[in-house]
Amino acid sequence: MQGAGTYTFQFGVVFANLDKLLEGAWLTIQLSAMAMALGLAVAVVCAFGATNGARPVRWAVRGYVEAIRNTPFLVQLFIIYFSLPAVGLRFDPVEAALVGMVVNLGAYATEIVRAGIESVPRGQIEAGRALGLSRLQVFRFVVLFPAVKAVFPALASQFILLMLGSSIVSAISATELTAVTNTLQSTTFRAFEFYFMATGLYLAMALGFRAALGAIYWLVFRRGRGAAA
């Protein structure tokens, strides 16, 4: 065993396998971006059901949110990947990872979007109804935009947490960054170097997503609607 002062850092092996690490990072980016988009869509639909739906719909949404928010993400992934094939639903590791991330994000984002909906002044909603708009039209044309604008920073933070949490999908053999890093360090025995590089890549991806989400906020809510604001 090497002592703390005798360890020799060898990053050459890391750079020799940098292409594999980048491939894993690219899959992480793809999974995260798709899960963000699809998870937000799930959240918007569920938030509408929770605030405007019939009582059974509200109960169903509440049950979904509570079930996902109060169980481990890893267990949810195992159910999707290992348990669902028993009832005829089979996913490969990447598909299972995406489904799990969407389901998980959808539950957390539903509560965020619902809070945004409840922050919209009642007067705006009543004005929309006075114009003869249906509940769906009021939600689409009057409520949704200001609601998402109000909670976009919270959604952005949840999106970043989702990306960082995507490392868990390595448990079902999805070859994202953590899975690739685990494989490389186990074959080269350079755990410090590979995990140090993985940490740097996750940091870069988190900052990149944060910058992209900031740009989206500015384009959609600041520049695009600046005059209306």
Write out the two tokens for 189: 């025995």
Helix axes 191-217, 177-188, angle to 10 degrees: 170
For residue 2, tell me if it sits in a domain. Answer: no
Write out the two tokens for 173: 């053999």
- Residue 133: the pLDDT is 87
Burial 155-186 (b: 16+ CB within 10 A, else e): bbebbbebbbebbbbbbbebbbbbbbbbbbbe
For residue 187, tell me if it sits in a domain. Answer: yes
Helix axes 177-188, 18-52, angle to 10 degrees: 150
- Residue 227: the pLDDT is 42
* Owning domain of residue 36: 12-223
Q: How many domains does the chain have?
A: 1
For residue 215, tell me if it sits in a domain. Answer: yes
For residue 153, tell me if it sits in a domain. Answer: yes
For residue 136, tell me if it sits in a domain. Answer: yes
For residue 219, tell me if it sits in a domain. Answer: yes
Residue 17 sits at the vertex; the CA angle it makes with 16 and 19, to the nearest 5 degrees, is: 110
Q: What is the pLDDT along the chain (229 residues), one digit of tens a residue?
A: 455 567 888 999 999 999 999 999 999 999 999 999 999 999 999 999 999 999 999 999 999 999 999 999 999 999 999 999 999 999 999 999 999 999 999 999 999 999 999 999 988 888 888 888 888 899 999 999 999 999 999 999 999 999 999 999 999 999 999 999 999 999 999 999 999 999 999 999 999 999 999 999 999 988 755 444 4
The CA distance from 169 to 166, in Å, is 6
- Residue 119: the pLDDT is 93
H/E segment holding residue 153: helix 144-165
For residue 124, tell me if it sits in a domain. Answer: yes
- Residue 224: the pLDDT is 54
- Residue 226: the pLDDT is 47
CATH number, domain at 153?
A: 1.10.3720.10
For residue 1, tell me if it sits in a domain. Answer: no
Q: Using the 8-state DSSP alphabet, how is residue 131 labeled?
A: T
- Residue 132: the pLDDT is 87
